[in-house]
Amino acid sequence: MMRFNKGGSWPSILRTQAYRIVLVYTILFALSVTALLAFTYWNTKRTLDAQTDQIIEAEITGLSEQYQQLGLRGLAEVVISRSAHGGPGLYLLANAQKQPIVGNLDAWPANMTHPDNFVEFDYQRRVENQLETRRARGRIFALTGGFNLLVAQDVHERYQTEQLFTTTLPWTVGLVLLFGLGGGALMSRNMLARLDSINRTSGEIMAGDLSRRVPIGAAHDEFDALAENLNAMLDRIERLMKGVREVTDSVAHDLRTPLNRLRNRLEATLRHLDPASDETAQIESAVAETDQLITTFNALLLIAEADAGVARGEMAPIDLAAVAADISELYAPLAEEKDVGLQISPSGTTMIDANRSLISQALANLVDNAIKYTPSGGKVTVTASDTPLGVELAVADTGPGIEAVERARVVERFVRLEASRNSPGTGLGLSLVAAVARLHEAKLMLEDNAPGLRAIIRFPRHPPRPR
């Protein structure tokens, strides 16, 4: 089945293989970027926290020594002196009610309750006459008598970096996705355009224009390599087709010339014979045999031509309903003589691009067969219809039909069923119909008409383009 993508519309781009690949890679890339950033963030924070915690532990160790040696008062003095430094160290000595006694923190942080854990909290500090909320990390050192000492470090720099990290991450991932998918779409569009030109060309070639070639770009990329290979293949096919045409022409010429001479001689002999003599009858039957030979030969040649796609010259829009009516009219007296009802199902105009002569001949073969095999009193129905599956030309009869297993075989060349051996015919009738169908990208189907045979030629909805 031919498929033409309409060049570069967005829904079709999103369906392309290239875009799917880009989509998967972009998502994987975004995930790994997120994971990488999260790991870096987590690891950095852990290392920095460990450093801070170490400093705090060391201070607590120092302060606890002071406390043991100098008591609460001594500790308070040390706290006051250390608080005065103005560095990152934060201290607050408080009573059992967590009311501050001394230290460089204004109030006891609300979330600071449990003595053994390092906890982060916000505190206020005056910097250049402005109150600033900053982040700190610290631990409680419990003293006797319900007193508590909070030892902490200002970690505001780290906290800000951390904030930066968490706000940047979604943006980074967003941008990765945006550029990835956008770039992917553009790339796919480009690829699709290249593939479209290849598809269009192959469509035109399938429709019979063998002279078409895939355009080659200047980039010398893999598409150009593909196009060059396709073109080389097409050159070869065209040469072969030309060869087929030349061979059929020369076979036609080489066989027709002697057949012509044979017929001429027989006729010349006939002209000099007494019409009533035995010889005349003999020679007349020899002429008839020659004519049969010629008919078979012509049918074979036509099948060969149709199969090689060389008989396309006269493709034009035709109305199948009109062809059906014409052929039925041609065969009406024959059917009537045999007492077979020949009728055409009414239908509207069914236009297709086709070779009128070949289609007429194919239909004539089908109708001829149908009348031939339908017993007196039977019925032959010719239908041209526009169905959802395609435009159909059908001939149904009420004859003996063809066994399901035999149906595929009768389309082959020279196959005649035992039952029809004795009736005249070349055995090429149905294979010719099949060849004509193939030439039009149509399909010949034989179905059970219960009783009888129903032969259908189904043309594709998009007819081959006229040359």
Partner 1 sequence: MRILVVEDDLEAQRYLVNGLKEAGHVVDDAADGETGLTLALSRPYDVAVVDRMLPKMDGLHIVAEMREHGNAIPVLFLSALSEVDDRVKGLKAGGDDYLTKPYAFVELLARIDALMRRRSPQAVKTRLQVGDLELDLLTRTAMRAGSAIDLQPREFRLLEYLMRHASQVVTRTMLLESVWEYHFDPQTNVIDVHISRLRAKIDKGFDTALLHTVRGAGYMIRARA
Binding site for partner 1 (CB under 8 A): 248-249, 252-253, 256-257, 259-265, 267-268, 270-271, 284, 287, 290-291, 294-295, 298, 301-302, 305, 310-314, 326, 329-331, 333-334, 337, 355, 357-358, 360-361, 364-365, 368-369, 371-372, 424-426, 429
How many other CB atoms are found less than 10 A from the CB of residue 368?
17
Q: Which is nearer to partner 1, 301 or 351 (CB)?
A: 301
DSSP secondary structure string for all residues of 155-180 = -HHHHHHHHHHHHHHHHHHHHHHHHH
Q: How far is the CB of 313 from partner 1 (least distance, A)?
A: 3
Q: Which is nearer to partner 1, 311 or 395 (CB)?
A: 311
CA distance 5 to 379: 45
Q: How far is the CB of 22 from partner 1 (least distance, A)?
A: 49
278-308 vs 429-439: helix axis angle to the nearest 10? 30
Q: What's the CA angle centered on 426, arms 245 and 354, to 5 degrees?
A: 50
Q: Which is nearer to partner 1, 55 or 251 (CB)?
A: 251
Q: Which is nearer to partner 1, 28 or 288 (CB)?
A: 288
Among residues 180, 160, 137, which one has the least CA distance to residue 30? 180
Q: What is the DSSP letter of 353?
A: E
Cis bond before residue 215 (omega within 30° of 0): no
CA distance 173 to 35: 10
CA distance 192 to 171: 30
Q: How far is the CB of 372 from partner 1 (least distance, A)?
A: 7
Coil, helix or strand for 313? Answer: coil
Q: Which is nearer to partner 1, 155 or 411 (CB)?
A: 411
Q: How far is the CB of 227 from partner 1 (least distance, A)?
A: 31
Retrieve residue 398's tokens: 């009420």
Q: How far is the CB of 307 from partner 1 (least distance, A)?
A: 13
Burial class (CB in 10 A: 0-12, 13-18, 19+), 383: buried
Q: How far is the CB of 459 from partner 1 (least distance, A)?
A: 19
Q: How far is the CB of 367 from partner 1 (least distance, A)?
A: 9
Q: Which is nearer to partner 1, 230 or 294 (CB)?
A: 294
CA distance 294 to 200: 41
Q: Which is nearer to partner 1, 151 or 311 (CB)?
A: 311
